[in-house]
Amino acid sequence: GNSVTQMEGPVTLSEEAFLTINCTYTATGYPSLFWYVQYPGEGLQLLLKATKADDKGSNKGFEATYRKETTSFHLEKGSVQVSDSAVYFCALSDLPNNQGGKLIFGQGTELSVKP
Amino acid sequence: GAVVSQHPSRVICKSGTSVKIECRSLDFQATTMFWYRQFPKQSLMLMATSNEGSKATYEQGVEKDKFLINHASLTLSTLTVTSAHPEDSSFYICSATGAYSGANVLTFGAGSRLTVL
């Protein structure tokens, strides 16, 4: 079945460091891919998404490119801030045409950014 | 826009009692709602999918008699944890999908933390 695998955390970085959180997926067909962020004590917020191969999603300085050849959707940010400390979830939707809905999540990666 | 509200955000109950959690779409009609469970420092596990006016579809391994889901209107779904036990303590999150401003949206609630004593 479909699945998402993320790099294990926690990831601890200094402010202004470069961030990469790896995400790979297994899916039939052409899933849509998402990154969600969960700040302490809060629900999930959509960070960015990509709906087809080679699409790049971007938001708030974060980027991720849908790589079908490597089945990956790695999250990157050039310079992290303390306020980026949160748990990041990679997810896929196996519904066609990006209709959203049922999502399959990776295990989450906790990011801690130190001043 | 496309806001989903969950209530209560935190609830503490005694073992053996039942607890109801509400998930409301405030400014759009949610044709489908999803209920997830999140254990500490773990991923979200889908429990069930509910469509307005029909029975929920539960994922494998989820007890439908334990976790009652009702989706009586296009803006409200409820999850009732019946005869709760300490092992039911968890963070429950709903999401809703529907049309908003001409586009299909998927929005998550802020979650409800259940503690069973």
Hey, of B38, B47, B71, B100, which one would you mutate to test binding to chain A, going by the most A CBs within 10 A of its CB?
B38
Return the beta strands (E) in chain A as ranges. Answer: 3-6, 11-14, 19-21, 23-26, 32-38, 44-50, 56-59, 62-65, 75-77, 86-93, 103-105, 109-114
Asked if residue B77 lies in contact with residue B5, where contact means CB atoms within 8 angstroms, the answer is no
Q: What is the pLDDT of residue A14?
A: 97
**How close is the nearest chain B Cα to the Cα of A115, in Å?**
23
Q: Say yes or no for a CB contact (<8 Å) between A108 and B42.
A: yes
Instruction: Give B106's contacts in chain A (Cβ within 8 Å).
Output: 46, 100-101, 103
- Give the DSSP H or E segment for B109: none
Q: Is the pLDDT of residue A96 over 90?
A: no
Q: For B76-105, how does the pLDDT look when each residue is reduced to its tens digit (9 = 90+)? A: 999 999 999 999 999 999 999 888 888 878
Euclidean distance between CA atoms A32 and B34, whole angstroms: 18
Q: Is the pLDDT of residue A97 over 60?
A: no
Percent of chain A topping pLDDT 90: 71
How big is chain B, counted in residues? 117
Query: Quick one: which of A35, A16, A8, A11 has its CA closest to A82?
Result: A16
- Residue B21's pLDDT band, with cuts at 50, 70 and 90, is very high
- Residue A49's pLDDT band, with cuts at 50, 70 and 90, is very high
Euclidean distance between CA atoms A42 and B26, whole angstroms: 18
- Residue A99's pLDDT band, with cuts at 50, 70 and 90, is low
Tell me what the mean pLDDT of segment A46-73 comes to: 95
Q: Which residues have C-beta within 8 Å of that of residue B94, sequence separation ≥ 6?
A: B4, B6, B21, B23, B33, B34, B35, B36, B77, B79, B108, B109
- B22-B26-B29-B30 Cα dihedral, nearest 10 degrees: -40
Instruction: Give B109's contacts in chain A (Cβ within 8 Å).
Output: 43
Q: Is the pLDDT of residue A27 over 70?
A: yes
Q: Is B16 helix (H, G, I), strand (E, B) or coil?
A: coil
